[in-house]
Amino acid sequence: MKYTTFGNDIDEGSHDQIAAACDLPIARAGALMPDAHLGYGLPIGGVLATENAVIPYGVGVDIACRMRLTLVATDSADVESWLEVPGLQSVSLANALREGTRFGIGCNWAGEEHDHEVLESPVWGMTDHLKELKDTAWRQLGTSGSGNHFVEWGVVHASQELAEAFGITVGKYIALLSHSGSRGPGAKTCNKYTKHAKWQNPAGELSWLDMDTDLGREYWAAMQLMGEFAAANHECIHKKVLKLAGLESCGVIENHHNFAWKEDGLIVHRKGATPAQKGVSGIIPGSMASPAYIVVGKGNEASLNSASHGAGRRMSRKQCKKTLDWDEARADLNEKGIWLLDAGLDEMMGAYKNIDAVMSHQRDLVDTIGEFHPKIVLMCGDGSRPED
């Protein structure tokens, strides 16, 4: 089965992976987004529609990894003055990031846990597996994990369309942007059901579960719960960071990009791809030194109503550590007026494709209605592998 490709800066390995996925007997349609790069099973930026089957690794280890952007209401006429470095406001905002979430594999609040209604979901009691994960979820709620996950303050340039959607005026706003997912519970859920899939329908990391089996229905329910948990995770992060900064929200945009949806009788897997149905809003980030774009989907069927989930890596993490230089990276960030609080060298700007080039290849997929320009950035700085 053929698949549709958007963009031209895509490695051969990603093409091989999506082609292999499209050859599965359950596959019905496929697409490759312009940020695509090599993954496990499906490439990151791969979209696959299947019939009556779900591929746990087609969703990914970090189930429901997602974006959340909160626009902030301020009475300042010049919002960028809040983010000048050094300055009283910028130091306060930086401290709010440091104290408002935690980074690293296995990170948790260790006695400072958050409460959220997601922990009351009856689905946690559906299986012994989920019962065991509930305590981990409670401890990790409001944490950010590792790898390419981040929280950052920046400035949003709101267009007329974005302003109308939020009931605000056209102009600049301070905003909080985060990227993370379902943490340890999501990873353990993916790994557990991938093992079952390899027994049921063996195809390596593309092994699938039939939706008319107990295991398929179990995974689907667990995946939905991980989606709710990931959304709650972001909600807790934003609530705490805003409270610490003494600021209030005037609107939120958010979206999953590692998930599967039932659409038109098929199961659509978006592994590092943003839903882009007609009229649906989302966020496509670049690197820490380039804009994130607030978009509205056009509903392009050739892309399976999808768009990229970011700029996409152009260097492996190992290659980054061999070729990138900390002094050069920090000098570039300083020149751009970006305050980096912490990150790994493998997350510097040179690790990623040019976001504007990526966006140029998806003009038929999304319209841009706003831009987020990062100013204060916090990521995991321990060099650990990402959980997605």
> Up-side HSE of residue 262: CA atoms within 13 Å toward CB?
9
Angstrom distance (rounded) from CA 168 to CA 347: 34
Task: Determine the pLDDT at residue 76.
Answer: 56
Mean pLDDT, residues 282-304: 96
Q: Which residues contact 251 (CB under 8 A, 6 or more apart)?
A: 70, 71, 165, 166, 167, 168
Spatial contact of 149 and 380, defined as CB atoms under 8 Å apart:
yes
Strand pairing partners for 50?
A: 27, 267
Angstrom distance (rounded) from CA 237 to CA 98: 11
CATH topology of domain 4-379: tRNA-splicing ligase RtcB (3.90.1860)
Burial 319-347, CB ≥16 within 10 A → b, else e: ebeeebeeeebeeebeeeebbbeebbbbb
Task: Determine the pLDDT at residue 386.
Answer: 46
pLDDT in tens, 135-167: 999 999 999 999 899 999 999 988 999 988 888
Report residue 114's pLDDT band, with 50, 70 and 90 as the boundaries: confident
pLDDT in tens, 54-74: 999 999 999 999 999 999 977
Assess whether pLDDT exceeds 60 at residue 385: no
Spatial contact of 151 and 385, defined as CB atoms under 8 Å apart:
no
Task: Determine the pLDDT at residue 384.
Answer: 53
Task: Determine the pLDDT at residue 189.
Answer: 98
Angstrom distance (rounded) from CA 294 to CA 251: 13
78: exposed, middle or buried (C-beta count within 10 Å: 0-12, 13-18, 19+)?
exposed
| Cα-based distances in Å from 202 to 24, 47, 329 | 11, 20, 44
Mean pLDDT, residues 306-327: 90
Q: What is the DSSP letter of 269?
A: E
Assess whether pLDDT exceeds 70 at residue 25: yes
Range in 53-62, 187-196, 228-237, 334-343 with the lowest mean pLDDT = 334-343
Between 151 and 350, whose confidence is greater? 151
pLDDT in tens, 203-255: 999 999 999 999 999 999 999 999 999 999 999 999 999 999 999 998 999 99
Q: Break the chain into its structural domains and give their ranges.
A: 4-379
Assess whether pLDDT exceeds 90 at residue 316: no
pLDDT in tens, 257-275: 999 999 999 999 999 999 9
Assess whether pLDDT exceeds 80 at residue 78: no
Report residue 282's pLDDT band, with 50, 70 and 90 as the boundaries: very high
Assess whether pLDDT exceeds 60 at residue 383: no
Between 187 and 167, whose confidence is greater? 187
By DSSP bridging, strand 366-379 and strand 150-158 are antiparallel
Task: Determine the pLDDT at residue 81.
Answer: 77
Residues 252, 258, 262, 268: what is their CA dihedral angle, to the nearest 10 degrees?
Answer: 130
Assess whether pLDDT exceeds 60 at residue 388: no
**Average pLDDT for the chain:** 93
Assess whether pLDDT exceeds 80 at residue 382: no
Q: Which residues contact 301 (CB under 8 A, 6 or more apart)?
A: none
